[in-house]
Amino acid sequence: MKKILLASGCSYTDPTYFSIFHPNIDCNWPKWPELLAKKLDMEPMNLGYSGAGSEFIYSSLLDKILEHKNKIGLVVAGWSRACRSDYAISNGDTMYLNRNEKWDKYGDNKYFIERHLRYVYSLQQICKSLKIPLKQAQIINSYETARWHKKSEVWPEARGKILDREKHYEIIYKNPYAKLINDDFIGHLGCPALGGWNMQDFFTDNDYISDEDRHPNAKGHQLIASKFYEHLD
């Protein structure tokens, strides 16, 4: 029986991703967990969900680790934005994940970043204790998007609270958790001060669905799978 490759992430990982910009485009190409599993002769279990934040990524992986721990060959976490807050609502028997990317007016940038790092470190330690191989990476930037650098485009409750990229990475660099996270996290938390990168850094326009939909196309998913594969022991 093949070992399981267990992966989770946001819309860059979601096996059922649907482009709201291009409803007529069939996005049913193999996603990076499936491509990586094929390279490793494993069975993919892709838990990715569009809009997922750190809590969902961590929790979805942990639940399945506990359920299948003796069958897992590799756990792969593709991390998303640090500020995302996950919660779920039910509609009968179906649970829908929701997120709030508008900043909580009582929230704090430093807290969002530290919360993200706690999930990263905790996943590392759990896999280490269970002797389960792990790879982690920042699939997209953990800081917020460039569109927020213009004050007119910032949500009212977030004005005056948005960090630029350099400040965001300074908080990561100085955080004690950053020094505890090992090389299982490829790209050094995406932090340039640590010599880091995120998967998006390697994308060209040809790796996205379109100029409007900045999610990976088939070529983009192949790129992500190849980057993970390059960094396996």
How confident is the model over 28-83, as pLDDT tens digits?
Answer: 999 999 999 999 999 999 999 998 889 999 999 999 999 999 999 999 999 998 87
Task: Check pLDDT > 70 for residue 136.
Answer: yes
Are 95 and 35 in contact, with CB atoms under 8 Å apart? no
What pLDDT score does 112 carry?
83
pLDDT (mean) for 167-178: 87
**What letter represents residue 137's amino acid?**
A
What pLDDT score does 141 carry?
80
Which has more confidence, 8 or 201?
Answer: 8
Are 61 and 54 in contact, with CB atoms under 8 Å apart? no
Name the pTM for this structure: 0.88
Are 100 and 53 in contact, with CB atoms under 8 Å apart? no
Which has more confidence, 222 or 201?
Answer: 222
Q: Reduced to 3 states, what is the DSSP secondary structure of residue 42? A: coil
Distances (CA, A) of 32 to 39, 78, 184, 218: 11, 10, 18, 9
Are 51 and 84 in contact, with CB atoms under 8 Å apart? yes
Please report, for the domain that includes residue 163, its CATH number: 3.40.50.1110
Average the pLDDT over each of 59-68, 78-87, 162-171, 196-205 and give the range with the smallest value.
Answer: 162-171
Task: Check pLDDT > 90 for residue 164.
Answer: no
- Number of domains the chain is built from: 1
Instruction: Select from 212, 29, 231, 30 the least CA-distant residue to 135.
Output: 231
Q: Which domain holds residue 169?
A: 4-230
What pLDDT score does 58 carry?
96
Q: Reduced to 3 states, what is the DSSP secondary structure of residue 15? A: coil
Q: Reduced to 3 states, what is the DSSP secondary structure of residue 120? A: helix
